[in-house]
Amino acid sequence: MTEPSRHLIVFARAPELGRVKTRLAARLGPHKALAIHRELLAHTLAAVSGVDGVTAWLSVTGHDPGRRMVALARRHGMRWLAQPEGDLGQRMARALRDRLREGGHAVLIGCDCPPIDATVIRAAFDALAGYDLVFGPTEDGGYGLVGARRDAPAVFRGVEWSTARVMDQTRERLAAGGLSWHELPTLWDVDEAPDWHRFLAWRAGKPAPAPLPARRRLLGQGLAAAGLALGLFTELRPAAQAQPVARGPSSPTGLTQPTPGFADLAPGSRLPAAWEEQTLRGVEPNRHRLVSGPGGTVLQIESRGSASSLVCRFDSPLRAERLAWSWRTDAWPSVKGALGEKAGDDFSLRLYLFFDHPLERVPLADRVLLRIARGLHDPRLPAASLCYVADPRAPAETLLVSPYTGRVQVLVIRSAPAPGPWWTQERDIAADFRRAFGAEHGPGTPPITGVALACDTDQGGGAVNAWFSDLRWTLPG
């Protein structure tokens, strides 16, 4: 079968003093803003030059004396065209429609979103094999990439452009139109002075001054994915500062104590330093504390329309045969959706295992997205995560795919109509992994790179308390 033709459109404004990067100009002056605009444009065109098999278009708005943008397009092997009239939505819809009429698929990008490179662009075109549209959301609530395989002008109508509601309003229109769409890992763009400094650090290979994202869309791709609902993965909007969690001295990570315990600590004391809180931007974090429990001190998580998780990452991947623990909750969350839906993705009790699953065994589409997510956010994002939950909505041993990503498999291991008692769980890790990822992984079980304890009520609200005992690992030999 012949592959559909691929059209790549770059939306750009002609470099005019005082008419580009106006928010940056207010802080840095119009001449600096113009220089930044030119540098970002050059960065984008260099990225486009690295994409094979596409017809590239430079679509320009603004006054272009001397037709310099035409010459620039030619130097990069691109075709030039003027942007159509109208607001941003009308211009994008028309630009996509014109290319779709020529046959094939079309992807449109701006020139102020540095993470968009050849890999991201190829992933967008690949997604159009199975979806009507594809988007690259940005952490400010908009998007820096949109692609289509069919004309859908209604998606762009009535959107409040240049606001934090752009992507949310776009989703509403997609759903209303019965369209299928795919979202790439969230990106970031350059609008303000801190964004420019972030770009300079990013380009130099230094840690970005902006905090890492923490949004449910990304969490699907690894540690973030495993913690999407937890806050492990991530609009990519800068993550809010987590509420400080009191921590005690560090416990060495070794085979006899992979996860520092709570039982021997005094109630009210600090959590072991190896347990780190992960939060979600815009979501109130849970409260964590050590309290008295049967057989010693236990961890209590208090969730009130909130969500966060405690994560322990291992210094070296852990090979374990079985895991046992006890947990308890005093209530089930008030959920608005069914089990397996995003609106129903609240759980009183969660325990995540992160596996060192070989990337080459991950399906191609997921592999591409995971590489992007690791590059943008955290190289430790796992390729496979297993989430144990207790929930009355499904029988025990029900296995579900996370509503955010197939890289997280959710296993109901306790189903009870009434909460309240302590439940003791013991799991055969290899058997559970084989059930969740065995067909993909093949023989054997990869080692574990981390574990997370969580409770979340941010989807439906409500008040829930959860308690966790120490984790007890059975190691080989």
Residue ranges of domains in the chain: 6-203, 219-474
Residues with Cβ within 8 Å of 384's Cβ and at least 6 positions away in sequence, in order, are 354, 355, 357, 362, 407, 409, 433, 436, 437, 440, 441, 446
Q: How confident is the model at residue 206 (pLDDT cuts 50, 70, 90)?
A: low
Residue 238 has pLDDT above 60, yes or no: no
CA nearest to 269, candidates 294, 228, 299: 299
CA nearest to 406, candidates 389, 383, 376, 427: 383
219-474 placed in CATH 3.90.1170.50: no
* Each residue's pLDDT tens digit, 256-286: 468 999 999 999 999 999 999 988 877 899 9
pLDDT confidence of residue 207: 54
Q: HSE on the CB side for 314, CA within 13 Å?
A: 21
Q: How confident is the model at residue 67 (pLDDT cuts 50, 70, 90)?
A: confident
CATH number attached to the domain at 6-203: 3.90.550.10
pLDDT confidence of residue 304: 94
Residues facing 351 on adjacent strands: 388, 453
Residue 247 has pLDDT above 50, yes or no: no
* Prediction pTM value: 0.53
